[in-house]
Amino acid sequence: QKEVEQNSGPLSVPEGAIASLNCTYSDRGSQSFFWYRQYSGKSPELIMSIYSNGDKEDGRFTAQLNKASQYVSLLIRDSQPSDSATYLCAVPEGVRDMRFGAGTRLTVKP
Partner 1 sequence: DVKVTQSSRYLVKRTGEKVFLECVQDMDHENMFWYRQDPGLGLRLIYFSYDVKMKEKGDIPEGYSVSREKKERFSLILESASTNQTSMYLCASSLMGSSYEQYFGPGTRLTVT
Query: What is the contact surface with partner 1 in residues (CB under 8 A)?
Result: 31-32, 34, 42-46, 49, 88, 90, 92-98, 100-103
CB closer to partner 1, 28 vs 96: 96
Task: Tell me whether residue 24 or residue 44 sits nearer to partner 1 (CB atom).
Answer: 44
Give the shortest CB-45-to-partner 1 separation in angstroms.
7
Query: Helix (H, G, I), strand (E, B), or coil: what is residue 83?
Result: helix
Pick between residue 1 and residue 110 the one whose CB is nearest to partner 1. 1
DSSP labels, 17-81: SPEEEEEEES-TT---EEEEEE-TTS--EEEEEE-SSEEEEETTEEEEEETTTTEEEEEESS--G
> Nearest distance from residue 100's CB to partner 1, in Å?
4
Q: State the nearest-atom distance from the C-beta of 103 to partner 1, in Å.
A: 6
Strands of the sheet with 54-58, listed across from one edge: 4-6, 19-25, 71-76, 61-66, 54-58
Which residue's CB is nearer to partner 1, number 29 or number 110? 29
